[in-house]
Structure 1
Amino acid sequence: MNTMLLRVFTIAAAAALASAWWLHGTATTPLALRLGTTRTPFSAVVWLAASRGYFSAEGLAVTVVPYGSGKLALAEMLAGKVDFATAADTPIMFALVSDLPLRVLATIGTSIDATEVVARRDRGIATGRDLAGHRVGLVQGTTSQYFLDTFLEVAGLAAGAIERVALETDDLAPALADGRVDAIAAWAPYSVRAKALLGDRAVTMRAGSMYRWTWNLVASGVGDNPGAAGVLRALRRAAADLQADPDGVATEIAGPLGMPAESLPEEWRHTRFAVTIDQALLVNLEMQARWAIGCGLARPGAVPDFLPAMAPGPLRAIDPALVTLIDGKDRR
């Protein structure tokens, strides 16, 4: 082989090796993502998927970013601070009626009777009707606000029968304990903290099957959402684990959730963890939009069509049976 041919061969071999190294490195580099969620029992599958390496198994380097509420996580996602967020249907509804660009990828948990009113017995409150004339703390733009109106209706009280006091999530329990409010509409862990502070002075009231809400995975409605299918697969594995062994899972993730492990299975008793997207979500969003418009919390007009905000594609690719939206697509 002459010198010129040897030089050409050497350059070609080096280029091939460099190309192979680059392709290998690219293929094995995890996709970095940020997922905003809460330290609440409803976000358990997110923390469990991270704890057990299920995101990593999908080739994802997911950083879980905690927020005080799904409303805050949703706002940060819309601001581009995180790639995905978990949020309840109420803040999702408020975002969509405000024409904010977001996609609902899946429901990861459905709760019945998981939000409650915690009230002070020493303020003369024993039943729902006793709330009349009292100050009730709530977190505006969240399930706390929608639940409270639902609870008042179930109790036979008019919406104006109470004085509403807007609070942040972390201030719910302290405000009730120090007497700034007489009751709060809250979910765990904030309701749990309130009951612990009040002791035997606490009265707990729920709305029963009249109140159903969902915890959902959402992403930006602008551009693509790379990694969505991998995130959904990881959450499905975590949901199956939690349903199969709630006590073991409670011990594992009590730390990130900031709750005693022994209290978590009782909170999870109100929630079914499964990664799906169904027609009931659309119906719930429409019902809440009617409430928001009727209360003057959203601009007047017709209830928006929420179907375009549903993004079942990644979940349908995993298993079409997980998608039961009436959207004209094949679900075989």
Structure 2
Amino acid sequence: MKFQLPVFMLLVALLFACQPDSTVTPQNSTVNVIKIAVSNTPLSAPLFIAHKKGFFKQHGLNVELIEHEGGVKCFEALITEQVDFATASETVAMFNSFYRSDFAILTSFVESDNDIKLISLSAKKYQNLASIKNAKIGIIKGSASEFFFDSLLILHHQQDLPLERVYLKPNELLAALENGEVDAISAWEPLGYQILQRSQNANQVMSTKGLYNLSFNLIGLKQNQVSLKDRQSLLKALSDAIDFISENPTESQLIVSQTLDMDLQQLRYLWKDYSFRVSLSNALVSNIQSQAQWAIDNRLVLKDNRIDVRMIIDKQLFESAISQHQDEH
């Protein structure tokens, strides 16, 4: 039996309509997932906001954020290839540069000159730096916590002060201080705020605002499966998130507060010390170089393993991504 022409044409049209459109990506498309190890601190705000507000998706990325306690753990996840990228301070990058050069900083996305503090539970006993003589100090080894503490001693000519360093994990600091295992801790936020709120006896041994300018960075392995285009898109998404933070500080704080399950008042207290921007400045290079010299002087690393800092900074990727982003806007 022969089809009538109108019926035949209708069937052909329906057949073509059922074919997948190669120009459209379906919602359940298996776009490669990019995994980022993120330190669960407000410093990671641009990544939380890029994820929540859809900036990663707008740039064609499928991103999964995996939270860890601190930048050291994030970097460990990176080098063991559990993730594609990690967030960490420049101190973590500096220490690791003595042992490997297969990673690179893609961008810094936030700075703070008041994120790390020296906190005790004996306000009367520990009123200044000299008073911590013979004290036990809780420190996170190989991190900004350790560099900050040594910088504090050097600045006040107390580097020969007798004391005991107790190396702890980030999630062990508060308990160690409250249980009397240490007399003070060199801790980043929000740990400092938490202990100050939990105990009336807690105090900041001395004001350290402006002493140390910490940066948080996006770091990746030089050889990975993420394309150049997607790496550029990551930086563009972070830039969009930072623009959003600047224009919508209240909503941004609410997003971060909910993401970290942090008290909003606590977050607002910390927020004023943060400067969000994507950058790879000469100040970052200088900071890493000075920290590397400190690590050598204190025999924390082998001098012979020192590399040129520029080997672990992907300036070319950064400049290409920012140039493209500016052209698109």
CA 179–212 in structure 1, closer or farther in 2 if over 3 Å, else same: same
Q: Following TM superposition, by how much is the alpha carbon of 1:129 offset from its aligned partner in structure 2, in angstroms?
A: 1.7
How much has 1:149 moved relative to structure 2? 0.3
Q: State how far apart, in whole Å, the 1-side matches of 2:45 and 2:140 are.
A: 21
Q: TM-score, normalised by structure 2?
A: 0.86
Report the number of matched residues: 311
Normalization by structure 1: what TM-score? 0.85
On the 8 A contact 2:35/2:85 being kept in 1, the answer is: yes
Letter in 1 for 2:297: G
Give the Cα separation in 1 of the matches to 2:237 and 2:65. Answer: 13
Other-structure match for 1:261: 264
In structure 2, relative to structure 1, the CA distance for the partners of 1:122 and 1:178 (3 Å cut) is: farther
The one of the two structures with greater contact order (alpha-carbon pairs below 8 A, sep at least 6) is 2
What SS does the aligned partner of 1:121 have?
A: coil
User: 2 CA distance for matches of 1:72 and 1:139?
Assistant: 11
Q: 1:240 to 1:147 in 2, by over 3 A?
A: same
1:235 counterpart residue number = 238
Partner of residue 316, structure 2:
313
Task: Give the alignment of 1:237-316 within 5 angstroms.
Answer: 237-301=240-304, 303-316=306-319
Answer yes or no: is the 8 Å Cα contact 1:119–1:202 preserved in 2.
yes
Q: Which residue of 2 aligns with 1:34?
A: 35
What is the Cα deviation at residue 112 of structure 1?
Answer: 1.1
Q: Which residues of 2 match residues 134-149 of structure 1 at below 5 A?
A: 134-149=135-150
Which deviates more, 21-30 or 47-56? 21-30
Q: Which shows bigger deviation, 165-174 or 298-307?
A: 298-307
Q: 1:56-81, CA deviations, whole angstroms, 9 ceiling, x for partnerless residues?
A: 11111111000001111011111110
Deviation string 1:283-326 (CA, Å, 9 cap, x unpaired) is: 1111111011111111123742011221123321233499xxxx
The Cα of 1:20 is off from its aligned counterpart by: 6.6
Query: 1:247: Cα distance to partner?
Result: 2.5
* Root-mean-square deviation (Å): 2.7
Deviations 1:33-56 (A, max 9, x none): 111111111111111111111111
Cα distance in 2 between the residues matched to 1:235 and 1:297? 34
Deviation at 1:91, TM superposition (A): 0.7
Q: Is the 8 A contact 2:126 2:205 kept in 1?
A: no
Q: Distance in 1 between matches of 2:267 and 2:44?
A: 12
Secondary structure of 1:86's match? strand
**Seq. identity, %:** 22
Question: Secondary structure at 1:133's aligned position in 2?
Answer: coil
Q: Offset of 1:271 from its aligned partner?
A: 1.9
Question: By how many angstroms is 1:157 displaced?
Answer: 1.1
Which structure has the highest helix share of the two? 1
Taking a change above 3 Å as real, the CA distance of residues 269 and 122 of structure 1, as seen in their structure-2 partners, is: closer
Query: Which residue of 2 is the match for residue 188 of structure 1?
Result: 189
Deviation at 1:261, TM superposition (A): 1.1
1:154 corresponds to 2:127: no
Is 1:97 aligned to 2:98, yes or no? yes
Q: 5+ unaligned residues in a row in structure 2: which ranges?
A: 1-15
Counterpart Cα distance in 2 of 1:179 and 1:133? 14
**What SS does structure 1 have at the residue aligned with 2:210?**
helix
Q: Aligned equivalents of 1:75 and 1:290: distance in 2?
A: 23
**Residue type at the aligned position of 1:273:** F
Query: Distance in 1 between the 2:119 and 2:215 partners?
Result: 21
Cα separation, 1, equivalents of 2:20 and 2:316: 33
Gaps of 5+ in 1: 1-15, 323-332
